[in-house]
Structure 1
Amino acid sequence: MTDGESLTIDDEIVARARIHAREVVDEYDLPVDLGALEWETSARARRRAGVCRWNARREVATIVLARKAYERYRWPEFASVVRHELVHAWEYQQFGTSGHGRRFLERAAELDAPRHCRRFSEPRYVLRCLADGCDWSATRHRASRPVKSPERYRCGSCGDRYEVEHAESGRTWTTASGYGGAKSALGERW
């Protein structure tokens, strides 16, 4: 590092994750090739604290860690996310595929890695079925097509129509024009 340069939070996340990965590989004798493991961070991630992607052509696993999760979790909880993704990296490197099946769960238990991570951000939108007796709902963190144009989609359970709620304001809509109206009415609160 030269004069005037400073570490970013992303540098800190990757540095701590790499150190923890070395410790885990050594302590648990986890056969992960750290030389074939790349690290990234995501400032956009809202649902997943981490993800492991596999490039079969290059035989390289890339672990992507969510900056917001790092900021919201204490280190022990975030370290468990790193261990979870290391199990995926191990599966990819050893078997060319990964999931949350029996093999994953057994190895994750050995490393005290959770199957799922605690939510670290609240969804911006809630989708709810309008049919009587149907309790289907879904959440979204971004204004996806089903959020912007709900009239073009249907309930994931019964196939009826649904409404979208802007979670912070409680404003709802069932059409694209309703979405536009809500966005316009909320202005900076959007």
Structure 2
Amino acid sequence: MTDDADHTLADEILARARIHAREVVAEHDLPVDLEALEWAVSTRAKRRAGACRWDAETETATIVLARRAYEAYEWPAFAGIVRHELVHAWEFQAFGESGHGSRFRERAAALEAPRHCEEFADPRYVLRCLEPECDWHAKRHRASKPVKSPDGYRCGACGGSYEVEHVDSGRTWTTAGGYGGAKAALSEEW
């Protein structure tokens, strides 16, 4: 259950996004059926500032915007996220599918919509390759399988082993047992 402040902020996000969407559709002749478009705010999202989901059965696109991104970005940057998701909505409505291919890139460029957004939340974990010549790393916000069992996975660049760091504590591990040990040692600080 959300409190009144959360509800008010979600209402503000949706109102501003809908107004901006109407302006974009009108100014750029973007053929998005705004009446068939649904909107939502995520209070949990930590990585993606926005997402566009497609329900093929009902032919409904839903744009989901992250509250944390709205709080972190200035409006011009957040408006770019809205435009990015509108391009996905257009692709879903027109073609039944969407991605970040050439059709998307061309339309996004015309709308000055970013292809990717800047991070708005610090990661909880960082994966780093252990090979001396490799500088590969990846950020994670959740304890996914590669975080919990790094010995079962490989570096995304060179295929070498990697370690996982719990950012807040600086603890690292390279095995499932190491993950369990770090979690137990940190206890409530985890």
TM-score exceeds 0.5: yes
> Hey, what's the Cα distance between the residues in 2 that align with 1:29 and 1:120?
31
> Hey, what's the Cα distance between the residues in 2 that align with 1:55 and 1:177?
41
1:171 partner amino acid = R
Q: 1:44 Cα deviation (Å)?
A: 1.9
> Hey, what's the Cα distance between the residues in 2 that align with 1:75 and 1:43?
18
Q: SS of the residue aligned with 1:87? A: helix
Aligned positions, number: 187
Q: 1:169 Cα deviation (Å)?
A: 1.9
- TM-score of the two chains, using structure 1 as the length reference: 0.89
2:55 matched to 1:50? no
- TM-score of the two chains, using structure 2 as the length reference: 0.89
Q: Say if 1:28 and 1:144 are closer, same or farther in 2 by CA, change over 3 A.
A: same
Q: Say if 1:35 and 1:8 are closer, same or farther in 2 by CA, change over 3 A.
A: same
Structure 1 segments of 4+ aligned residues over 6 angstroms from their partners: none
Q: 1:139 Cα deviation (Å)?
A: 1.4
Q: 1:5 Cα deviation (Å)?
A: 10
Q: 1:74 Cα deviation (Å)?
A: 1.1
2:180 matched to 1:180? yes
What corresponds to 2:120 in structure 1? 120
What corresponds to 2:36 in structure 1? 36
Give unpaired runs (5+ residues) of structure 2: none
> How big is the alpha-carbon RMSD for the aligned residues of Structure 1 and Structure 2?
2.0
What corresponds to 2:87 in structure 1? 87
Q: 1:82 Cα deviation (Å)?
A: 0.3
Query: Identity of counterpart residues, as a percentage?
Result: 72
> Hey, what's the Cα distance between the residues in 2 that align with 1:111 and 1:141?
30
The Cα offsets for residues 30-82 of structure 1, whole Å up to 9 and x where unpaired, read as 11101111111212211111111111221111111111101101111111100
Q: Say if 1:112 and 1:5 are closer, same or farther in 2 by CA, change over 3 A.
A: closer
Q: Say if 1:65 and 1:171 are closer, same or farther in 2 by CA, change over 3 A.
A: same
Give unpaired runs (5+ residues) of structure 1: none
The Cα offsets for residues 131-170 of structure 1, whole Å up to 9 and x where unpaired, read as 3423322111111111112122222233332111112221
1:159 partner amino acid = G
Q: SS of the residue aligned with 2:85? A: helix
Q: Say if 1:172 and 1:5 are closer, same or farther in 2 by CA, change over 3 A.
A: closer
2:173 partner amino acid = W
